[in-house]
């Protein structure tokens, strides 16, 4: 992350929300966003400003990250669709699939959705952002790697 990008985004937010930026805020944001590409922060700030519900308030870094990743509702929808596309996704054998009741199938579907959501909540932020197509897999690997230095920061 380029420090100038952070200053530019904070300046835009300061103008929109008519709130001054302390001298420490760019440092804090740089620490939070240092490993992410410039366009990530620009897109997150833009999504925040245009969000009818959240865009009325000054964003926190956590909110900006959440703007860039799938919501729990989206994960539930994806899990439900995956189950519909493949009812045996949970390992249920074909014989059981052919003979189970509507109630049993829906029960398995609910369990699958709940498990996918629980798994999602355990994922790291870089992995969630990669899955949400907010960053590339290479970027996620660089961010998640504890052995990486800051050489990838622009």
Domain count of the fold of the chain: 2
pLDDT score recorded for residue 148: 53
Residue 99 lies in a domain: yes
Residue 97 lies in a domain: yes
pLDDT score recorded for residue 144: 86
> Tokens 């835009």 belong to which residue?
12
Residue 128 lies in a domain: no
**pLDDT tier for residue 145 given thresholds of 50, 70 and 90:** confident
Are 62 and 36 within one domain?
A: yes
Are 139 and 64 within one domain?
A: yes
**pLDDT tier for residue 24 given thresholds of 50, 70 and 90:** very high
pTM score of the predicted model: 0.82
Does the pLDDT at position 129 exceed 60? yes
What angle in degrees, to the nearest 10, is found between the helix axes of 25-33 and 3-17?
120
- Neighbouring C-beta atoms of residue 144, cutoff 10 Å: 14
C-alpha to C-alpha distance for 50 and 13, rounded to whole angstroms: 12
pLDDT score recorded for residue 154: 45
Are 118 and 84 within one domain?
A: yes
pLDDT score recorded for residue 89: 96
Q: Which domain holds residue 18?
A: 3-68+135-144
Q: What is the pLDDT of residues 41-71, one digit of tens each?
A: 999 999 999 999 999 999 999 999 999 999 9
Are 77 and 62 within one domain?
A: no
Are 49 and 87 within one domain?
A: no
C-alpha to C-alpha distance for 145 and 126, rounded to whole angstroms: 10
Are 76 and 54 within one domain?
A: no
Are 9 and 56 within one domain?
A: yes
Task: Compute the average pLDDT of residues 69-84.
Answer: 97
pLDDT score recorded for residue 109: 97
Residue 127 lies in a domain: no
- The better pLDDT of the pair 152, 84 is held by 84
């Amino acid at each position: 992350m380029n420090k100038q990008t952070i200053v530019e985004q904070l300046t835009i937010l300061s103008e929109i929300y008519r709130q001054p930026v302390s001298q420490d805020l760019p440092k804090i944001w740089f620490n939070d966003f240092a490993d992410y590409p410039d366009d990530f922060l620009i897109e997150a700030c833009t999504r925040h400003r245009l969000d009818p519900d959240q865009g009325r308030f000054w964003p926190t870094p956590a909110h900006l990250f959440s703007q860039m990743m799938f919501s729990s509702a989206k994960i539930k929808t994806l899990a439900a669709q995956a189950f519909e596309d493949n009812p045996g996704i949970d390992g249920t054998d074909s014989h059981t699939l052919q003979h189970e009741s509507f109630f049993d199938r829906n029960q398995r579907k609910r369990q699958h959705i709940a498990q996918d959501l629980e798994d999602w909540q355990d994922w790291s932020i870089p992995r969630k952002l990669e899955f949400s197509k907010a960053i590339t897999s290479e970027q996620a690997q660089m961010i998640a790697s504890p052995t990486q230095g800051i050489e990838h920061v622009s």
